[in-house]
Structure 1
Amino acid sequence: MILINTPRLTRSYVLFLAFGLFIFMGCKNKTDADKAEQENTSASEEVGVENSKVILFFGDSLTAGYGLEQGEAFPEIIQEKIDSLNLNYKVVNAGLSGETTSGGKNRIDWVLKQNVDIFVLELGANDGLRGIPLTETRNNLQEIIDFVKKKNPDIKIILAGMQIPPNMGQDYTTGFKNIFPEVAEKNDLELIPFLLEDVAGNPDLNQQDGIHPTAEGQEILAENVWEILENML
């Protein structure tokens, strides 16, 4: 009986092994295919990020979003708007609270280690509040612009205009305000006439210090920037 049944058992066992091997190879091939697809998808996403054009916001506490939660500063709001339009741009927030034009001039080399397509320059407010000589502020802005252009002749630059309260006297206040349109015209830059338009002086849109915008105020700043930036995209 054993000799008679052995071939049948052997054939059944072989068929079972063959079927199991077929299932195993099928699952393995599917797993490998899924893995390859996932790797290709990840690679495509990485390439998409690497190929994104960069918009760098170089500024002070207004850009940094002083006193606010992460994501509430206007550069991050701009990024959300860009993403909603499926535009291939990545926003970099290089704002530093307390930054002056002199400080910006000293750190611009480090900030521009990466490739940048659009450079938004938002500096000068702290100069004005400290009463720094107008010629110094103007020269620092010019040196930053010159450096950026030398680093990348094809870069597009937006200059954010700024105004200050008349604490320093009318001559200083007027001279300070005029720096930005004059520098923009001299260098053929796009100009945001006044970054804090419709926000400055409004207690409902500023924090307790009366200087830094609330999250709602930052939304308005983003709109002021977007009016100029949109055409570049």
Structure 2
Amino acid sequence: MARPRAGRRLPSRLAFSLSAGAVLVTALLVTACSPTPAPVFSAPSPTPAASSHGAHRLRVVTIGDSLMSGYGLDLGQAWPTLVSNKAHVSMTSLACGGMGFVVSGDCGTPYSGLVPALAALQPDIVIVESSSNDFGEDPEDVRAQTLTTVEEMRDAAPGARIIGLSTIWNDETDTPDEVGSTSDDLSIAVTLVGGTFIDVGQPLAGHPDWMQDDDVHPTARGQEAIAQTGLGKLSDAGVPG
């Protein structure tokens, strides 16, 4: 039996507003949408973003699915928060369960629906991850939507560095072919807009104890493994920097 897709039809915790100018950058804030018939977001309150040295903190926005939003865990245990704490950057996550480049998740939209929020945030770096939620969709549609959405991200935040991350699977050592194809689609799209693609590998592979009972979403320990791998890969690529 095929395993459920990461984050699909599973509830997330918090909400955003997609209206331009309604979303504010917050320091070390990671939030996700709650399931609604249509994406209805609310703006978080701003918090100080200066580092201990008073310098400008790099502003990072992450876009992804429930693996990125930390489904089933406490707020702050998702890997983007862990990375932001170690890298000392201002992080805002627009991740939402069930979402992909084609598939609409709990926020009622695929990644393209987050472009207005991205335009309002105007970050220094955008990190977007391809998703297993798009597995089973028409490959040509996934490829086309990936290209179009990444181009829209570039237009929405022209001053941002766009970083693409490969698709993360669960604890199985054998990964479906779609892991490679969705990752390749994002690699091509990001490269075409002058961004950087990073293959993070499969940090959960071979560790069933790092998975929640649904065998789809990582535990806090699994999130730590993703953060550790991601931080190393980002550092090797000069991010942050």
Q: Residues 191 and 228 of structure 1 are in contact (CA less than 8 Å); yes or no, is this contact kept in structure 2?
A: no
Residue 222 (str. 1) matches residue 236 (str. 2): no
Matches of 1:190 and 1:140 in 2, distance apart?
18
Q: Quick one: structure 1 residues 151 and 181, their matched pair in 2 at CA, closer, same or farther if it must change by over 3 Å?
A: closer
Tell me the residue number matched to 1:91. 91
Q: Quick one: structure 1 residues 135 and 163, their matched pair in 2 at CA, closer, same or farther if it must change by over 3 Å?
A: farther
Question: Shift in Å at residue 112 of structure 1?
Answer: 2.9
> What percentage of aligned pairs have identical amino acids?
22
Tell me the residue number matched to 1:175. 181
Structure 2: state its 5+ residue gaps: 1-46, 103-109
Q: Deviations over 1:55-90 (max 9, x none)?
A: 11111101100011111100110111023xxxxx20
Q: Quick one: structure 1 residues 77 and 149, their matched pair in 2 at CA, closer, same or farther if it must change by over 3 Å?
A: same
Q: Quick one: structure 1 residues 208 and 194, their matched pair in 2 at CA, closer, same or farther if it must change by over 3 Å?
A: same
C-alpha RMSD over aligned residues: 2.9
Matches of 1:47 and 1:198 in 2, distance apart?
30
Q: Deviations over 1:137-182 (max 9, x none)?
A: 122221221112112323111111116699xx97656534532333
Q: Quick one: structure 1 residues 110 and 160, their matched pair in 2 at CA, closer, same or farther if it must change by over 3 Å?
A: same
Select between 147-156 and 179-188 the one with higher mean Cα deviation.
179-188
Question: Helix, strand or coil: the match of 1:95?
Answer: coil
Question: Helix, strand or coil: the match of 2:93?
Answer: strand
From 195, 198, 217, give the equivalent of 1:192: 198
Number of equivalenced pairs: 179
Select between 202-211 and 102-111 the one with higher mean Cα deviation.
102-111
Q: Quick one: structure 1 residues 48 and 75, their matched pair in 2 at CA, closer, same or farther if it must change by over 3 Å?
A: same
Q: Counterparts in 2 of 1:26-105, with a 5 A limit? A: 46=48, 48=50, 51-83=56-88, 89-102=89-102, 103-105=110-112
Tell me the residue number matched to 2:139. 134
Structure whose alpha-carbon radius of gyration is higher: 1
Matches of 1:47 and 1:180 in 2, distance apart?
30
Q: Residues 101 and 141 of structure 1 are in contact (CA less than 8 Å); yes or no, is this contact kept in structure 2?
A: yes
Matches of 1:193 and 1:71 in 2, distance apart?
24
Q: Quick one: structure 1 residues 160 and 172, their matched pair in 2 at CA, closer, same or farther if it must change by over 3 Å?
A: closer
Question: Shift in Å at residue 111 of structure 1?
Answer: 3.6
From 112, 124, 136, give the equivalent of 2:119: 112
Which structure has more RCO (C-alpha within 8 Å, separation ≥ 6)? 2
Q: Quick one: structure 1 residues 185 and 209, their matched pair in 2 at CA, closer, same or farther if it must change by over 3 Å?
A: same
Q: Counterparts in 2 of 1:136-151, with a 5 A limit? A: 136-151=141-156
Matches of 1:98 and 1:158 in 2, distance apart?
21
Tell me the residue number matched to 1:206. 211
Structure 1: state its 5+ residue gaps: 1-44, 84-88
Q: Residues 118 and 156 of structure 2 are in contact (CA less than 8 Å); yes or no, is this contact kept in structure 1?
A: no
From 107, 122, 129, give the equivalent of 2:129: 122
Question: Helix, strand or coil: the match of 2:50?
Answer: helix
Q: Tell me the TM-score normalized by structure 2.
A: 0.64
Matches of 1:139 and 1:170 in 2, distance apart?
20
Q: Tell me the TM-score normalized by structure 1.
A: 0.66
Matches of 1:53 and 1:171 in 2, distance apart?
35
Higher fraction of helix: 1
Question: Shift in Å at residue 190 of structure 1?
Answer: 1.9
Q: Quick one: structure 1 residues 51 and 181, their matched pair in 2 at CA, closer, same or farther if it must change by over 3 Å?
A: closer
Matches of 1:177 and 1:223 in 2, distance apart?
20
